[in-house]
Amino acid sequence: MFSAVPKYPPVIDGNELTQAKVELGKMLFFEPRLSSSHLISCNTCHNVGMGGHDYLPTSIGHGWQKGPRNSPTVFNAVFNAAQFWDGRAADLAEQAKGPVQAGVEMSSTPQRVVATLKSMPEYVSKFEDAFPGQNDPVTFDNMATAIEAFEATLITPDAPFDRFLRGDTAALSDHEQEGLALFMDKGCASCHSGVNLGGQNYFPFGLVTKPGAEILPEGDKGRFAVTATASDEYVFRAAPLRNIELTAPYFHSGAVWSLEEAVAVMGTAQLGAELAGDEVDAIVAFLKTLTGKVPEIKYPELPPSTDGTPRPVSMTQ
Amino acid sequence: MFSAVPKYPPVIDGNELTQAKVELGKMLFFEPRLSSSHLISCNTCHNVGMGGHDYLPTSIGHGWQKGPRNSPTVFNAVFNAAQFWDGRAADLAEQAKGPVQAGVEMSSTPQRVVATLKSMPEYVSKFEDAFPGQNDPVTFDNMATAIEAFEATLITPDAPFDRFLRGDTAALSDHEQEGLALFMDKGCASCHSGVNLGGQNYFPFGLVTKPGAEILPEGDKGRFAVTATASDEYVFRAAPLRNIELTAPYFHSGAVWSLEEAVAVMGTAQLGAELAGDEVDAIVAFLKTLTGKVPEIKYPELPPSTDGTPRPVSMTQ
């Protein structure tokens, strides 16, 4: 039902994690010049120092626009079956292309990104190293592939729960094990399973009782926008629960700041069960054993803008 | 006339650089929750991966407002006689308090900052370690002191010019040495001297010929705003030239992207000399020998927001 986070990044079909590619991907992940304002990088909303996200209900993007959904953590995202809250991107490379182009996020274009990267000789040479044998390696697709390679290294092994899964029963206290038992018995684990305890399948939010509009805004119909199938209205990917204590506020709306409250909401909305206070406490204690070891990241040195770098777009309000 | 960047951070009167304080200062430097939006950290505009600044003419701040002046590099800023383009802060600790409170930058308040930091137990314990023996160490002043301690470590030793100053004459090519000779003979060095080749004194921009309003906007009277002395109109601190090839665009207005053009403008504006093309080239070649070794920085792990953390302020436009 559950698996441990592996100690090393997984193999990705068609994207070998070479050192050159991972290093390039790291530069691109931290590169604000992928946005047309030159202000916003992947790391702005998926901050590797803050649980892989931004501690905001929904992110701030280009022109101080508010994004529509809570920014998911990049940590362990490689283990999700698909990306975004509605699973509209099959993998991290496809995902990476979204925010770069979204008008409310980085507001750039593939053409602008390629012109920007080609204007800096260091990037051209890093792309050549990362994609050897290619004629014209500085492409929007290769940008996404390199970012995926870096993000695949952003895994957090060695959580207490991982040690428990590997046989160290002392890694979880009695209270935490009680929480795990409740998590399984009450039915949480039917949706939140696998390596990430979530991220594998889609379920209606409000399976039993629909939460209020402050938690489940009516205008966002979730996966319905992807499949145009009536039964996918208000369907979302089950949230991955790894490092959940580091990823408040909760839900796609980012409306709930307390993990206790989020667990209680799940009880009524998904399970039709009013969880008792001590049950919530035990489940939360268990959930906190999902906090793993964050990867060490040396801040990358990005090349200077040149005369040929497309200028940041107007910054007036 | 010039000094090498030292290999180790300098001693700061009244602010001992203990490891606990420097580590805390690093966390605070990367902490977007010092801003009321939770989006903007010191590193946003003084990006340690991008020459210690943001490659923007002027920075983007709270609510997507445009700052009034070009963001100076944090690298080697500890060697400047005073901080900001007009020298209005005596040191880095005083400087650090400015942007946190400025409405167009991070738009927070000392009260909000202290409440934010006190809401996260990890910060309370880090402040206790960094400021031992204090009753109530989580203060706005101590925040600034810790940031100053971290920033004092952001120095870039071992530039070719430093090796040259230490006696390795082969560290500069003939062309670069020619540029150095011109830099001294033409008079650049009268303002751009010391460790940072600048940052020590104040001079009128347009000493001989006032540049156009696109480079020297009429509304920004520089140090006049600090001293209210007529002779300080359009007076600015001489720009520090360390790592100048990494800090485009140039001038307090950030109006000039090319280093060649910036040198030519300085020739006419400050020296009353139209520099020949090959003179500009030689001076630029010399200036590029001021690029030092950027410090290695491990991205800090910031504590999670808690129920008590003041919420990010409304993010609507």
> By percentage, how much of chain A surpasses pLDDT 70?
99
pLDDT confidence band for B307 (50 / 70 / 90):
confident
Q: Which of B38, B66, B300 sits opposite A55 (nearest CB)?
A: B38
Query: Distance between CA atoms of B22 and A81, rounded to whole angstroms?
Result: 41
**Residue-level pLDDT at B314:** 73
> Which alpha helices (DSSP H) does B5-87 contain, by range?
19-29, 42-45
| Phi, psi of B5, rounded to the nearest 5 degrees | -70, 125
Whole-structure pTM value: 0.95
Residues of chain A found within 8 Å of residue B58, distances taken between Cβ atoms: 315
Q: Which residue of A has its CA nearest to B249?
A: A305
The model's pLDDT over A135-187, given as tens digits with 9 standing for 90+, comes to 999 999 999 999 999 999 999 999 999 999 999 999 999 999 999 999 999 99
Reading the block at residue A15, the tokens are 């994207």
User: What is the spatial distance between Cα B156 and Cα B140, in angstroms, rounded to a whole number?
Assistant: 28
- β-strand partners of B202: B237
pLDDT at A54 over 60: yes
Torsion of CA A97, A102, A106, A107, to 10 degrees: 120
Chain B residue nearest residue A49, CA to CA: B301
When pLDDT is averaged across residues B198-209 and rounded to a whole number, the result is 92
- Chain A residues near residue B298 by CB distance under 8 angstroms: 296-299
Query: Average per-residue pLDDT in chain B?
Result: 95
The residues, any chain, with a CB within 8 Å of residue A216's CB and separated by 6 or more, are: A205, A206, A210, A234, A251, A253
Q: Is the pLDDT of residue B155 over 50?
A: yes
Supply the mean pLDDT for chain A.
95
Contact B212, B218 (CB under 8 A): no
Contact assessment for residue B313 and residue B224, using Cβ atoms and an 8 Å cutoff: no
Distance in angstroms (rounded) separating the CA atoms of residues A175 and A141: 47
- The reply to whether residue A300 touches residue B65, judged by beta carbons under 8 angstroms, is no
Distance separating alpha carbons of residues A306 and B2, to the nearest angstrom: 28
B300: nearest CB among A49, A246, A257 = A49
**pLDDT tens digits for range A241-288:** 999 999 999 999 999 999 999 999 999 999 999 999 999 999 999 999
CB B251, CB B215: distance < 8 Å: yes
Question: What is the per-residue pLDDT for B315?
Answer: 54
Binning pLDDT at 50, 70 and 90, where does residue A315 land?
low
* Residue A165 contacts B where some CB pair is shorter than 8 Å: no
pLDDT at B172: 98
Q: From start to end of chain A, where are the E strands?
A: 60-61, 65-66, 202-204, 235-237
Take residue B188 and report the two structure tokens written for it: 């650049």
Which residues of chain A have a CB within 8 Å of the CB of B250? Answer: none
Instruction: Using a pLDDT cut of 90, give the percent of chain A over it.
Output: 95
Model confidence at A314: pLDDT above 90:
no
pLDDT in tens, B253-270: 999 999 999 999 999 999
**Is the pLDDT score of B316 beyond 70?**
no
The reported pLDDT for the residue numbered A307 is 86
Q: Each residue of B44-60: b (16+ CB within 10 Å) or e?
A: bbbbbbbbbbbbbbbbb
- The structure tokens 């080609």 sit at A118
Q: Distance of CA A49 to CAs A43, A80, A199, Å? A: 9, 21, 22
